[in-house]
Every structure is written in C-alpha cells, then in structure tokens.
C-alpha cells in the first residue's frame, strides 16, 4: 500500500484530533532526557583551573612555597604552571639556607618535575567533576575528549542495531527498550569507582541515547498525517530536545557535584514508564508486516479518541490480498543495493557526518568560551529554538535541497569569519559562533525529516538509523576538533566552516521530495524519486526484480 493510499484511507481520523495531539506531545516529551544526557559531559567533564599540590610537610618557607610553581605564558598573560613545579628537594635546600627566591636564587635555573603529589583544583565553579575525581589533566588530559568519543561510539553501535531491530520488531518496543537502557545505565554511572568504569557505562548509555530518539522520530512520522508530520519532525522532537538541553545548565548551576548532578538528571527517566500504555505501535509498520488486524485496531482506537466513526473495513485492498505488503525482509544492505539508492545513501551519509561534527563540536565548546560556562551553554541551547522554528518554516514552504543549502552555507560561512575577528572583540566571536550553531542546528533538523521522506516505510527506520550511525563518526571526531583549539584557537572554526559549506553544495545532488508522498516500498521509492538522468540498465533490471518480490 503506497503512502498516498494510506493517507486517503485514514482521512476519517482528521488531521489534529485528541489522538494526534497526544501522540505529538507524548513522543516529543520522550525526547527531553536526550537533551541533558547527550550534553551533560559539558559539565561532568569540564576541567577547572589547577596547579601542582605542594604537600604540607614539605618544610618550605612561605616565600618558597609561593614561588614553588614556575610561571608560564598563556593567552598573553603569565600564570602558574598547571603541570609542573620546581623540584622540591632543591628548593627545600635553598629554603633551609635562608635564600630568597628571585633574589638570592635564579628560579629559571632550578630543575622542574611533574605534579608528583597530585593537583589542587579551583573549586569556585565546580565542587567536583570527573576530571577532578580521577585527575584527568596534564599527561592524562587526552582522556577527557576520549570520554566523549566513547559515548558517541556507543551511539554509533546503538544506531546500527536499533534501526534494524525497529524495522523488524516494531518502533514502540525499541523506543521503550532503549529509553530503559539510557535511564538505568546513567543511574549506574553515579556509582562509578574509576574512569574506566565511567566510560564503559557511558558507552552503553550512548547506545540507548540516540536509539530512542530515532525510534520516537520515525514512530511519530508514520502515525501523524502529512501536515502534522512536517511540524513534528522539524519542530516537535527537536524543540523538546532543546528544552532538555536548556534544562541542563539550569540544573548544573545549582548542583556543582558531578555525581549528584547525574543522579538528578537520571530520575526523570523513570517517569516515562506509563507512556507504554499511551503510545501505540505504528499502523504503517504493522501493515508492512502483514498485521492488518492490529493496524486496524490502532486506527479504531484513534477514531474513538477523536470522536469519529471508523469504516467497517479500513484496509479493504490489503484484506483482499492475504499476503503481507512486502513478502521479503529488508535490511541495511538494501540501502546500497541499487545504483541510485546507493548514491543517495552515500551523499546523505557524508552530509550527516559533517553536520554532526559541527553541531557537537560547537555544543561541547561552550565551556571553553569566555564568560560563564552555564550562560554560554544556555545560550547555545536556546539558539536551537529559533533554529528549529526556521527549519519548520523552510521545510513547509521551500524545496528540500534549498533548505539544506541555505542553512549549511549560513553555518559554514559564519564559522569561517570568526578567524577574522580581532582578539579583543570576544562578544562578536561568541555571537558568530552562536549564529553558526543556529545554521548547523537548523540543517540538522531538516536532514532528519528529509531522510525520512527519501526512504520507504520498509526501510525508513533502518535508513534514518544508518545515517545517524554514519553521523556518529562525526560526533566521535567532534571532541578532537575542540581539542585542536588548544594549539590554534581558529583551527576548529576553519575546519568546521569549510566542511559545512562543502556539505551544503553536496546537498544539491540529492533528489527533491517536496510535495511528494512518503514511499511505502523500495519499488515505490524508485518510482517517485526518479533521477532526471536515465537510469542504468542494471538498476532497471534490479527494480523490476524488486517489484516482483514486493508484489508491487
């Protein structure tokens, strides 16, 4: 059954009744924890100012204790070294002899050593983070970006598995299973006894984090009508994600201990258990599995909630033909089975990867910006609301390729301009970075909905999951883009800006879906998304075979 037939058959439900409003709100609400779980590392893993500890039993005079740390230049000013100190046995000898630092002794001539007795951390901003808990500084500072990358490695694995599981076992089951994984393993993280344990649990949290987002996104896309689907996919789930993201700095501002913060952010996940009885399975997916009676039961319940009468037989054409809509199973290999679908999948994958680099690098970089980390994080989250609103307006009235091109070029060009801002104009640099975040965020919202429009029901969750999986390569790399700023503060912006602008040009090669119905089968996708150029003969042969297998 093609999407146009499905839309015609279900017109009796109406467009925006109590059933649709409940689905819209409840599925969007399920996205809120993703906002603060995905970005919590901004505060959990922030590195406060630190210096080597000088033990109390070092027997140093006050003058030598104050001068025991060498001065290093950073951003044009001198400050105490965070990773080295003068050798204590040498300066203790000078102290015992009554010599004064800088007067009787040339400090630059004293040998230095590492922080053998640990570090002293500035507690003005945080009581504790995972950095202060396990001393992830100096020689171990590489562990901080690795922590975030391991989380996104979990997201990568989760995207790979959940898409195919959702297409096989249903959107609803995968949605709630992955929400449970995210909530429980985040709770287990609170009791981590080592950095390795924290990372292992964070990896599993990542497996659930994006999987429930994709499942909720696809479930809503398939249940809601076309007019509501657009606002749901570009604003509904996205704005609720932004709400969760905005909640994060507000909660973190009042809770400065990382374990307590993580516990508070975990508990709301248990409030979603009752949603199991309120959110139905996708009727489209049930039809694709030949489960016609269950699909009709969902629609009859929806009709009852909307106060309308359902036809005696809803899917006559399906019941007349007792076999399932698609007689063969589909998997991720179908995304590259024919030439034109393969080209679409590859180009979409590249755009998703680049978008992920830009979005997560800009989001993770807020703690490194001048001013309050909490305020910068809140602004970075708040800018997503107008970005999603703009994405919805563009998606509603503008062709899809033009939507992507305009938002990606805006994000890329603005980021490239940051390197030309004079060093003293910090506020202008932050403004440009937030404007770049605006463009990248709007594009990210559009690419989700655009991808769902390109692929058929039998592959839609697999396709969105696969593209999301590809984008995790970008999110895994994103922490290291931020890390490059330690060597040259403009290098991350130059790389991100160039890649984002390139992806905007690449999006022009994708097919246009504006005004077209959602495809139900691979054959239907091939039919309504014909490329303007003549298809290769081998592709045409494969399409005929596909049509025969699917009973099109």
Instruction: Select from 502, 498, 494 the least CA-distant residue to 419.
Output: 494
Residue showing tokens 């020689």: 139
Give residue 76's pLDDT.
60
Quickly state the pLDDT bin for 517 (edges 50, 70, 90). Answer: low
* For residues 388-411, average pLDDT: 85
Give residue 195's pLDDT.
92
Q: Are 380 and 362 contacting, i.e. CB atoms less than 8 angstroms apart?
A: yes
Out of 283-287, 377-381, 458-462, pick the least confident: 458-462
**In this model, does residue 300 exceed pLDDT 50?**
yes
* For residues 475-504, average pLDDT: 82
Higher pLDDT, 96 or 194: 194
Instruction: Select from 264, 289, 35, 265 the least CA-distant residue to 173.
Output: 289
Share of the chain above pLDDT 70, in %: 81
Higher pLDDT, 353 or 338: 353
What would the two tokens of residue 297 be?
Answer: 């039961």
For residue 113, CA distances in Å to 50, 94, 468, 474 come to 16, 17, 46, 38
Out of 42-46, 252-256, 365-369, 437-441, pick the least confident: 365-369
**In this model, does residue 345 exceed pLDDT 90?**
no
Quickly state the pLDDT bin for 200 (edges 50, 70, 90). Answer: very high
User: What is the distance, to the nearest Å, from the Cα of residue 375 to the centroid of all Cα atoms in its chain?
Assistant: 20
**In this model, does residue 547 exceed pLDDT 50?**
no
Give residue 110's pLDDT.
77
**In this model, does residue 48 exceed pLDDT 50?**
yes
* For residues 268-282, average pLDDT: 84
Higher pLDDT, 185 or 109: 185
Domains and CATH numbers, the chain: 3-47+140-509 (1.20.1250.20), 50-121 (no CATH)
Give residue 28's pLDDT.
86
Give residue 69's pLDDT.
79
Q: For the segment 408-443, what is each residue's pLDDT rounded down to a tens digit?
A: 988 888 888 887 877 767 778 888 888 888 988 888
> Which of 149-153, 316-320, 332-336, 461-465 has the highest average model confidence (pLDDT)?
149-153
Instruction: Select from 324, 453, 314 the least CA-distant residue to 11.
Output: 314
Quickly state the pLDDT bin for 93 (edges 50, 70, 90). Answer: confident
Give residue 336's pLDDT.
66
For residue 253, CA distances in Å to 48, 214, 413 come to 15, 30, 33
What would the two tokens of residue 538 be?
Answer: 């081998």
Average pLDDT over all residues of the chain: 78
* For residues 204-210, average pLDDT: 84
Give residue 339's pLDDT.
66
User: Could you give the CA distance from residue 432 to residue 273 in angstroms, rounded to a whole number?
Assistant: 41
Give residue 319's pLDDT.
44
Phi then psi for residue 307, to 5 deg, are 75, 30
Q: Are 23 and 220 contacting, i.e. CB atoms less than 8 angstroms apart?
A: yes
């Amino acid at each position: 059954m093609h999407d146009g037939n499905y839309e015609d058959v279900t017109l009796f439900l109406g467009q925006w009744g109590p059933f649709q409003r409940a689905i819209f709100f409840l599925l969007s609400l399920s996205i809120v924890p993703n906002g603060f779980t995905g970005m919590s590392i901004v505060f959990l893993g922030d590195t406060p100012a630190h210096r080597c500890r000088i033990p109390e039993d070092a027997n140093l005079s006050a003058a030598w204790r104050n001068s025991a740390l060498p001065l290093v230049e950073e951003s044009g000013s001198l400050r105490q070294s965070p990773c080295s100190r003068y050798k204590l046995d040498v300066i203790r000898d000078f102290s015992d002899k009554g010599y004064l630092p800088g007067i009787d002794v040339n400090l630059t001539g004293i040998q230095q050593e590492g922080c053998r007795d640990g570090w002293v951390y500035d507690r003005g901003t945080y009581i504790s983070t995972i950095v202060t808990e396990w001393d992830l500084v100096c020689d171990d500072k590489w562990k901080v970006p690795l922590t975030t990358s391991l989380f996104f490695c979990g997201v990568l694995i989760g995207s790979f598995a959940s898409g195919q599981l959702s297409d096989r076992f249903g959107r609803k089951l995968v949605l709630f299973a992955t929400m449970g994984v995210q909530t429980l393993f985040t709770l287990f993280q609170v009791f981590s006894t080592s950095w390795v344990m924290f990372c292992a649990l964070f990896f599993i949290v990542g497996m659930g984090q994006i999987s429930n987002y994709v499942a909720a996104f696809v479930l809503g896309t398939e249940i809601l009508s076309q007019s509501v689907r657009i606002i749901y996919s570009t604003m509904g789930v996205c704005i609720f994600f932004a709400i969760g993201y905005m909640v994060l700095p507000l909660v973190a501002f009042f809770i400065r201990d990382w374990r307590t913060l993580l516990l508070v952010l975990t508990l709301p996940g248990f409030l979603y258990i009752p949603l199991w009885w309120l959110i139905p399975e996708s009727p489209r997916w049930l039809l694709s599995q030949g489960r016609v009676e269950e699909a009709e039961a969902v629609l009859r319940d929806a009709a009852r909630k909307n106060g309308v009468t359902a036809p005696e037989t809803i899917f006559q054409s399906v019941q007349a033909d007792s076999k399932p809509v698609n007689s063969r199973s589909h998997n991720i290999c179908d995304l590259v089975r024919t030439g034109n679908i393969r080209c679409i999948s590859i180009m979409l994958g590249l755009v998703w990867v680049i978008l992920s680099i830009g979005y997560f690098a800009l989001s993770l970089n807020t703690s490194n910006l001048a001013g309050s980390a909490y305020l910068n994080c809140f602004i970075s989250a708040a800018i997503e609301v107008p970005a999603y609103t703009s994405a919805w307006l563009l998606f509603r009235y503008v062709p899809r390729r033009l939507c992507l091109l305009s938002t990606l070029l805006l994000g890329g060009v603005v980021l490239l301009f940051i390197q030309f801002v004079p060093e003293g104009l910090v506020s202008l640099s932050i403004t440009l970075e937030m404007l770049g975040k605006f463009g990248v965020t709007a594009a990210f919202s559009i690419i989700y909905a655009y991808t769902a429009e390109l692929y058929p029901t039998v592959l839609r969750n697999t396709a969105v999951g696969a593209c999301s999986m590809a984008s995790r390569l970008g999110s895994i790399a994103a922490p290291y883009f931020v890390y490059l700023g330690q060597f040259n503060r403009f290098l991350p912006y130059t790389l991100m800006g160039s890649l984002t602008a390139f992806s905007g040009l690449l999006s022009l090669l994708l097919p246009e879906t504006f005004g077209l119905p959602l495809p139900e089968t691979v054959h239907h996708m091939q039919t309504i998304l014909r490329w303007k150029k003549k298809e290769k003969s081998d592709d045409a042969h494969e399409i005929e075979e596909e049509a025969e297998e699917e009973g099109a």
